[in-house]
Amino acid sequence: MDMHTHHDTTMPVDERRKVSLVIPAYNEGRGLLRLRDALTPLLDNRMRALSDGREIAEYDYEVLLVNDGSRDDTLQVLRELRAADPRFCYVSLSRNFGKEAAMLAGLDYATGHCVVILDADLQHPVEAIPRMIAEWESGYDDVYGRRATRGRESWLRRRLSMAYYSMLQSASDIDVMPNVGDFRLLDRRCVDAVRSLRETQRYSKGLFAWIGYSKKDVEFVTADREEGASSFSYRRLFNLAVEGITSHSTAPLRIASVVGFVTAIAAFVYLIFTVVRTLLYGDPVAGYPTLICVLLLLGGLQLCAIGIVGEYIGRIFMESKRRPVYIADIYNDSKV
């Protein structure tokens, strides 16, 4: 070894391990160049020193963007990015399948020893990635980002999301962590575990919890979205919330049975009471309003219960078709 080289940590390129950055993108054309600029220092191994004195190894990086059926020029920009820098790869789906499916596509096509999933809108700071890699190097398999603050967001949205997580936590047996989203690093083993779960109705947060493995959190500060608009409306979030509950818990079915059972018991007690009262005091016919109330109440409860059962039947129906989660159209300039 050259005596004058004090500080030579560069490994031969073929010994370097590979990190894939999986980035779902839906109508993100306007922000992708900014994303590229933000990622470049990381890709060039210029972000290896951590503020706490640790240093991560050098890696080969692969940026795998998943074009989730964007209606803007995202695909065009992806082609240009790839032409300029072959570390940028992309999969383009045949239509918009939703972020959950896009993430699975990314995991399927990623080739790295580990995968970092992040949003295309730079709300997941690139600065946190080296810290995640450091935890991975020290042996953790699933390093998830935990939001220190939630960024700019409406009061209602924050409230709803907090209430929802506590409900999901108590309804399912998975450990749902608040302020943890899809920003995370997965070891190859975790990637393969998640890939083996091919359910079409996906709730990735639950899947990441379900696979287990050793987990570690890394805190990050959510940035505000710079370009475009969030594609998660309240309606979409509501659907995702129902997905989360119904794909990881059968508690609603049990609630329906319990409510039905309690109502039946109450009705039976009332029946005994009525019979006894009629025997003792005769039968003064009255109570038409009460009758209607009970009728409506029971009718409502029944419809609710049928609705809940229907949610699950619907899910069985969808899964029983065994459709693929997504259809890939193009991978790195060639048709799939």
Among the residue ranges 2-10, 95-103, 213-221, 274-282, the one whose residues contact ligand UDP (CB under 6 A):
95-103
| Contact present, 24 and 66 (Cβ < 8 Å) | yes
Q: Contact between 182 and Mg ion (CB under 5 A)? A: no
- Quote the crossing angle between the two packed helices 234-248 and 204-211, to the nearest 10°: 30
Residue 123 engages Mg ion in binding (rule: CB under 5 A): yes
Residues 198-227 that bind ligand UDP (CB under 6 A): 225
Kindly state whether residue 222 participates in binding Mg ion, applying the rule CB under 5 A: no
- Chosen from Mg ion, ligand UDP, none, partner binding at 140 (C-beta under 5 to 8 Å by type): none
DSSP 182-227: EEEEEEHHHHHHHHT---SS--HHHHHHHH---EEEEEEPPPPP-S
Q: Is 98 in the site for ligand UDP (CB under 6 A)?
A: yes
Mask 160-199, x = binds ligand UDP (CB under 6 A)? ----------------------------------------
* Region near Mg ion per CB under 5 A, out of 120-128, 164-172, 279-287, 317-325: 120-128
Q: How many CA atoms lie within 13 A of 48 on its CB side?
A: 13
Q: Which amino acid is at 331?
A: Y
Alpha carbon distance 208, 100 (integer Å):
12
Could you tell me the smallest distance in angstroms from the CB atom of residue 287 to ligand UDP?
52
Q: State which of positions 113-142 bind ligand UDP (CB under 6 A).
A: 119-121, 123
Q: Give the integer Cα–Cα distance in Å for 208 and 176.
A: 10
What is the closest distance, in whole angstroms, from the C-beta atom of residue 105 to ligand UDP in the complex?
A: 9
**Cα–Cα dist 59/334, whole Å:** 26
- Alpha-carbon distance of 143 to 147, in angstroms, equals 13
The footprint of Mg ion (CB under 5 A) covers 121, 123, 225
Residues that bind ligand UDP (CB under 6 A): 24-26, 28, 68, 96, 98-99, 102, 119-121, 123, 225, 230-232
